[in-house]
Amino acid sequence: MEYKPINNEGNSICIHQENLLTEIEKKTVLPMMRMVKSADEENKVYELYIQEFYDLLGIQGLDSNLQFEEIIDELLSKLVEISRENVGKVMTHWIVSVRYIEDSEVVQVRLPADLKPYFLQFKKYLAL
């Protein structure tokens, strides 16, 4: 199985070929990564405006919500493997959970704590 390794202070992250992000998935993850701060608590919930995603992704029309949900479904299904020195391997996903707030223009997103160091340095990893 082919993968793309990324190293961060003694840790390496492996993205298997079938779990590489598509261009539209990268555009979806980028705003989420930008929100992560080093002082954020582990299970912080980030609120994002859906329309900003639609504009960024070029999603239009009556099926906008469906298109966005399909992208999120893919991100929820893609595995990320993190190997840590002296600790072992952790497997996680790009997103932990997404909550669609009914009658709202906002989605709430929880990101995996294990990816926080990588999200903080996201510019290096945009070429995943």
Work out the percent of the chain whose per-residue pLDDT is above 70: 80
Could you tell me the pTM of the whole model? 0.74
| Band of pLDDT at residue 34, cut at 50, 70 and 90 | confident
User: Phi, psi at residue 51, to the nearest 5°?
Assistant: -60, -35
Q: 85-123 burial, b for 16+ CB within 10 Å, e for fewer?
A: eeeeebebbbbbebeeeeeeeebebbbbbbbbebbeebe
What CATH number labels 3-37+44-125?
Answer: 1.10.10.10
Residue 57 structure tokens: 């992704």
**Tens-digit pLDDT profile for residues 46-66:** 998 888 888 888 888 888 888
| Band of pLDDT at residue 120, cut at 50, 70 and 90 | confident
